[in-house]
Amino acid sequence: MGQIRVSVIGASGYSGIELVKILARHKYARVDKLFANTSAGKRVAEMYPWFQRRVEVVYEQYSAEAACRSDIVFIALPSGEAMNLVPELLDRGRRVIDLGGDFRLKDVSLYQKYYKRDHTAEETLTKAVLGLPEWNRSQIKPATLVANPGCYPTSAILPLVPVLKEGLIEGKGIAISSLSGVSGAGRSSSVDLSFAEVNESVKAYKVGVHQHTPEIEMALETFGGSAVSFTFVPHLLPITRGIYTSIYAPLRANVTQRDIGAAFRKHYEGEPFVRCSETAIPEIKNVNYTNYIDIGFRVDTENNQLVLLSAIDNLVKGAAGQAVQNMNLMFGVDETEGLIA
């Protein structure tokens, strides 16, 4: 096939630059335009020396006209910004993948509640498809607008859906505890995210009000097939990248470790980026810089609880890697292209 011309808006941030790295080794992608308003005029390699002799593109101020010369546009901006750009890009016939949260929720009232702002592109929400390849592949392929899932939701949804779908756990009383590296907050400076503040410490934040909560609920009910209620508590780790999620769920009667293993094999055996193990405990170091999610599980027979564990790289499977996986599906390219070194 011919090359896929790509533009990236927000290409100087952590997720944006990870996206450029992946695209640079993609056999069928050609990076056309990189937009980063605060870095306009600078070469990518000037800010990120890793790109010396690899990508010699200069950052530009965003313009819809320039972006629309590409076949697909990735938006790697903070939530609240993509909604101002997407309608025009779609009207001009471009396909779009948004790595932010503006198009993940179908209910505008939930967006306003959790993101604390009005949604200015409500009519565009109906065009958005959730970019979770393992569970939404058929809808992603023809989509014009893909809403990439959040990093925390990816780490929680993928372990939970198979056991919900097979009726192995109760839908109520689920607890999700996630720990993330500081790159999940983006590249903008903040005292709370400085080395002196996060080093040698762990803290919970946005307990009960995190914006990823309704996204997790929507996906679990859509793909798991039943109503759920859960508690989600995110934590900040003193590491750069990676997410580790521990999930505790009440088991249905007479469910065994073998039943759980069978559910994961049934749904994920052919998935290129899902690695499940009945014996190994996932570790962040084994998934960082990759598009894999590692899932482990244990049945606590004394307390009739299922313990699910997952690890992902928040910048790859939790953002840029999953976005390229979605692009591959949209353009009929091998799903793993650019994602396995």
Collapse the DSSP code of 90 into the 3-class scheme (helix H, G, I; strand E, B; otherwise coil) and give the result.
helix
Distance, in Å, from the CA atom of 55 to the CA atom of 69, rounded to the nearest integer, reads 19
Active site residue 151: yes
Q: Which tokens is 209 given?
A: 């009000």
Quick one: which of 221, 229, 223, 271 has its CA closest to 250?
229
Give ∠ CA 134-309-229 in degrees, rounded to 5.
Answer: 75
In contact, 156 and 216? CB cutoff 8 Å? yes
Quick one: which of 57, 50, 49, 54 has its CA closest to 11?
57
Q: Which tokens is 250 given?
A: 């009440």
Kindly write down the DSSP assignment for every residue of 244-302, as one continuous string. EEEEEEEBPTT--HHHHHHHHHHHHTT-TTEEEESSPPP-GGGTTTSS-EEEEEEEETT
Sheet holding 29-35, edge to edge: 29-35, 4-9, 72-75, 95-98, 145-147, 128-130
Q: Residue 47 class from Cβ within 10 Å (0-12 exposed, 13-18 middle, 19+ buried)?
A: middle
The residue annotated as part of the active site, out of 151, 251, 287, 312, is 151
Distance, in Å, from the CA atom of 314 to the CA atom of 36, rounded to the nearest integer, reads 21
Kindly write down the DSSP assignment for every residue of 1-15, as one continuous string. --PEEEEEETTTSHH
In contact, 305 and 250? CB cutoff 8 Å? yes
In contact, 250 and 170? CB cutoff 8 Å? yes
Q: Which tokens is 54 given?
A: 């690899």
In contact, 124 and 96? CB cutoff 8 Å? no
Q: Which tokens is 283 given?
A: 């570790």
**Catalytic residue positions?**
151
